[in-house]
């Protein structure tokens, strides 16, 4: 099983709530919008991974203590656990987003998140994450590798979960 992260920096611009998304330029989910993120490296905690991936992909610096854990997503493919994804959000960061070979960053109004250009599961959990809730979800795909070509089948979502035991 793969362990991965997503990070959603937030800001308020003249009363409009925005979230930093990326257009993924390569790899899993290429061409789709997502948050900055990626796979954990050996010995890394999810929080450390989210900080590193956000720096690598869009150049923002985040103190790990400023990340708020918002979701745990269990992505299953053909009945097997495929990816456990830890989702964080933050309003505290340094720097301006810049593009990288992996990602083109874009500030998007929370009311205008382009769910039609994202993973199919995102519309089921990201609105709650952007509304400040905590969620845990299981999302089942069928049809074999790669995951981004499989069909979304069904899901279960729990709201108001606690991540007090986060490592």
Ligand X SMILES: COc1nc(N)nc2c1ncn2[C@H]1C[C@H](O)[C@@H](COP(=O)(O)OP(=O)(O)OP(=O)(O)O)O1
Tell me the window of 23-31, 61-69, 105-113, 159-167 that interacts with ligand X (CB under 6 A): 23-31
**6 belongs to the binding site for ligand X (CB under 6 A):** yes
Residue with the CB atom nearest ligand X in the bound state: 38
CB of 15 to ligand X, least distance (A): 27
Neighbouring-strand partners of residue 11: 18
**71 belongs to the binding site for ligand X (CB under 6 A):** no
What number of chain residues touch ligand X (CB under 6 A)?
Answer: 18
**27 belongs to the binding site for ligand X (CB under 6 A):** yes
Q: What is the CA radius of gyration of the chain?
A: 15
What residues between 49 and 68 interact with ligand X by CB under 6 A?
A: 53
Q: Count the helices and strands in the chain (H runs, E runs).
A: 2, 9
**What is the chain's percent helix, strand, coil content, to nearest 5?**
20, 45, 35
CB of 165 to ligand X, least distance (A): 22
């Amino acid at each position: 099983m793969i362990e991965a992260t997503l990070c959603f920096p937030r800001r308020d611009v003249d009363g409009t709530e925005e979230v930093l998304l990326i257009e993924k330029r390569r790899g899993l989910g290429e061409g789709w919008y997502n948050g900055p993120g990626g796979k954990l490296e050996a010995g890394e905690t999810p929080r450390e991974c989210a900080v590193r991936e956000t720096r690598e992909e869009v150049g923002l610096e985040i103190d790990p203590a400023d990340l708020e854990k918002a979701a745990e997503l269990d992505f299953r493919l053909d009945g097997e656990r495929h990816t456990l994804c830890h989702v964080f959000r933050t309003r505290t960061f340094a720097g301006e987003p810049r593009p990288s070979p992996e990602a083109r960053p874009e500030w998007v109004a929370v009311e205008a998140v382009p769910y039609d250009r994202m993973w199919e599961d995102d519309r089921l959990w990201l609105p709650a994450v952007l509304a400040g809730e905590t969620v845990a979800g299981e999302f089942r795909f069928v049809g074999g590798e790669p995951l981004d070509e499989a069909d979304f089948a069904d899901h279960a979502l729990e709201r108001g979960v606690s991540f007090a035991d986060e490592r």
